[in-house]
A and B are shown apart, each in its own frame.
Chain A
C-alpha cells in the first residue's frame, strides 16, 4: 500500500492540473482543427485550415508585428527606466530612499485594468493631463488625440506598459546592485577608474544575468498582456494597436470564429513556450553570483 501513497497524495493536485491546464489546452487544440459554430451547432473537421486562414490574414501579421514591438520595446524601455531608478535608489541618502522606493513601486501594485482606464483619461485629447502639460509647453495642439490616432495609439499603450513594468525591473536591479561586491568598486577606484567606466565595466556586467531574466520575463508577460491594450484601445483605432491576445478575443468572442480563435491561441502559446524555453535556458546558465 505504501507504494501507492504518493500517488494518492498527488491525485488532487494532478486532477486540478488536468482540469485547469491539460483539458483546456487539449480542447483548444482540437477546436483549432474544427469549424466551430456556436450558432448552428455541430463541428466540422477542417484539419489545418484555420491555421492557413490565420497565416494568410493580414490582420494576424499586423497583430504579430504590434505584439513584438509592444513586448520588446516596452520591456527594453521599462528595463532602462528601472535600471536608472535602481541606480538612484542604490545611493544611500537616508529615509528618502525608502519613500522614493515606495512611490516608484506604486504602478506595480495597481491593477492593469485600473491602470488602463487611468491612462485612457490621462491621454484624453480634451481633458487629459498629458495634453494639458504639452499644450501649455507649446509642444502639441490641444485636442491631439493620442489614442484616437492610428499613428500614436500603439506608442501610448507601450508607454503605459513601461509605466507598469518598470517597478519590477527596478526592484530586481536594486537587488542585483546590492549583491555586487564593494571590493570591485574599491579596486577600480584605486586604479583610477571613472564613474562612467565603473558603471560599464563593473555594474553592467554584474547585472547581466538579472537583465537577461528581466528581458525574457518582460517579453513573455508583455506578449501575453491583454488587459492594458484592451482597456485603452481595444486594439484600435482601426486595428492600429491590435495585439495577439486581443485578436484572440476578437476572433473568438466578437466574430465567434472559435476555430480561428483557438488556432491563433495555439500559435501564441507556441511562441510563449519558445520564450519560456529561452527563459529556462537563461535561468539555467545564470551566474550564481
Chain B
C-alpha cells in the first residue's frame, strides 16, 4: 500500500530534478553594472565567441554593480557562482585570499597574455604572488570643473588646495539674489558610503598619505596629511559653506542633476562623468584636471597619486570548466576587445597597450590626462578587509568630521583605531 504514495512522490521529485543536458560546455558569465552600450557590446562579443568556439555556450546575466559583494559572497560561500565575472580589482585580495578566484597566472599562456596590458594596471589584479583576473578597464579619480561656471567667474581650474578652496568659495553664491545660496563650489557623494570614500581618499593620496603600511599590518590614514585633507573639507563645509549642504543624501543622480543645472561647480569623478552629463545635458562642457595637491606640493601636481580603481574579469576557482572560462576571459579582454573602450565612450579607460597607442585613441577626450593619472595612481591597499574598512569605517567617521560632529583629528583617530582592530582581527 505504501507504494501507492511513494512511487508518485519519487516520480514527481525525479521530474523536478530533471534538467536540460547539454553535450557541450556551458559557462555562466555574470556581468556587474555597465552602461547599456557596454552590455550590448558584451552580448555581441559573447555571441561571436560562441561562433568561434563551437561546443561552448555562454549564459550571460546582468547584475547590480552596487551588490557585487553581497551577491558573490552569498554564491561563493554556498559553493556556487558563475564561471567568470567582472568585479572591482580590489576583490583580488578579498576573494583571492578566500580561494574563490582562480589564479590566472597558472594558465600556461599567461605570460604571453600579460604582455597585452599596461604593467601597472595588471598589477592591480595581483594579490601576493598570484594574478586573479585580467584588467577590463581602469579609472583614475580626477576633479571635474563646470566649465560654464568657471569661465563666467573667470577662474582657472585649481591646482593647489588653497586655489581649490578659493575657487569653491568664489563659485558659491546666491545667484537669484534672494539671500539664499543656490550655487556651490563642491559636491560630495555622501549618500553612498563607498562612493564617498572613493572620492575623498584622492585628497589623502595627493597629500602623500599612505592608507596602510606596505606590509598591510598598520593603518596610516590618520597621519598629519590625512588630517589636513579632512580639515580642508570640514572647513569648506562648516566655514565657507562651499560644499552643498545636502551632500549626505546625494548619490550619482543628484550630483549629475546639480552639475547639469549649474548648481555645483566641482566634483570628484572619473571618466564616466562626461558621458553621464552628456546624456542629461548634451554639449555641457567641463574641465577635467588632476585632484589638487597641498600648496607645498605644487611641483608634484602632475605626478602625485590619485586613487586608481579598476574592473577586472576573474574566474571562479570552483568552475568545472577552467580552460574554457580562460578562453572566454581572453576573448572578452584581448586587444581587439579593448579597442571598444577607445571607440565608444563607456566611462572608463582602455587597459591594453595596443588600444591606448592606437590612432583612434588620439581622438578620445581627456585620455592623455587619464593615462598620466593612471601612471601614478594607487589603488586601495590590497588587504582583504580594505573595502569594508573604506566604506564602513573610514567614510562615516570622515562624514562626521565634515559636518562638525567630530574634529578631523578625532574622527581619523577613531576610524584608524576601529580599522586597526579589523586588521588585527583578520590576522
Contacts and interface: CB of A to CB of B under 8 A. Distances in A.
Check if A and B associate.
yes
Interface of A: 1, 8, 38-41, 120, 124-127, 141-145, 147-150, 153, 233-234, 236-239, 253-256
A125 B249 CA distance: 9
B250 to A, nearest CB: 7
Given A144-B245, A145-B245, A238-B399, 8 more contacts: A38-B77, A39-B94, A39-B97, A143-B244, A145-B246, A145-B248, A148-B245, A255-B392
B73 interface: yes
Contacts of B261: 126-127
Contacts of A234: 191
A143 B246 contact: yes
Given A39-B98, A142-B180, A147 B400 contact: no
Contacts of B413: none
B177 to A, nearest CB: 12
Interface of B: 1, 5, 69-70, 73, 76-77, 94, 97-98, 178, 180-182, 190-191, 193, 244-250, 254, 257-258, 261, 263, 384, 388, 391-392, 396, 399-400, 403, 405
A38 B76 contact: yes
A38 B80 CA distance: 13
A143 B1 contact: no
A127 B396 contact: no
Q: List the 10 closest A-B pairs by CB distance, nearest first.
A: A145-B246, A237-B248, A148-B246, A148-B249, A125-B246, A147-B249, A148-B248, A38-B77, A253-B70, A39-B98
B98 A237 contact: no
Nearest to B249: A148
Nearest to A147: B249
Given A149-B246, A253-B70, A256-B69, A238 B257 contact: no
Contact of A237 (B181, B249, B254): B249
Contacts of B69: 253-254, 256
Contacts of A236: 190-191, 193, 248-249
Contact of B180 (A143, A147, A150, A253): A143
A256 B396 contact: no
Contacts, number: 92
Contacts of A127: 257, 261
A238 B97 contact: no
B43 to A, nearest CB: 27
Nearest to B192: A234
B11 to A, nearest CB: 15
B258 A126 contact: yes
Given A236-B191, A237-B399, A255-B388, A148 B181 contact: no
A170 B247 CA distance: 37
B248 A126 contact: no
Contacts of A233: 249
Given A38-B76, A236-B191, A143 B245 contact: yes
A254 B388 CA distance: 7
A143 B399 CA distance: 19
A236 B191 CA distance: 7
Contact of A254 (B76, B178, B191, B391): B391
B388 A238 contact: no
Given A1-B1, A236-B248, A143 B182 contact: yes
Given A238-B400, A238-B403, A254 B392 contact: yes
Contact of A239 (B5, B258, B396): B396
Contacts of A126: 182, 246, 254, 257-258, 261, 263
Nearest to A131: B246
Most buried by B among A125, A144, A239: A125
Contacts of B396: 238-239
A86 B319 CA distance: 60
A145 B190 CA distance: 12
Contact of A143 (B181, B193, B257, B405): B181
Contact of A148 (B73, B190, B257): B190
B70 A41 contact: no
A9 B9 CA distance: 12
Contacts of A147: 246, 249
Nearest to B385: A39
Contacts of B247: 148
Contacts of A254: 69-70, 388, 391-392
A149 B237 CA distance: 13
Contacts of A239: 396
A72 B73 CA distance: 36
B280 to A, nearest CB: 13
B249 A39 contact: no
A65 to B, nearest CB: 18
A120 B253 CA distance: 11
Contacts of A124: 254
Nearest to B388: A255
22 contacts: A8-B5, A38-B73, A38-B77, A39-B97, A126-B246, A126-B254, A126-B258, A126-B261, A143-B182, A143-B246, A145-B245, A145-B249, A233-B249, A236-B190, A236-B191, A236-B193, A236-B249, A253-B73, A254-B69, A254-B70, A254-B391, A255-B388
A127 B250 CA distance: 13
A125 B248 contact: no
Contacts of A40: 98
A234 B190 CA distance: 11
Nearest to A120: B249
Nearest to A36: B77
A120 B73 CA distance: 30
A153 B254 CA distance: 17
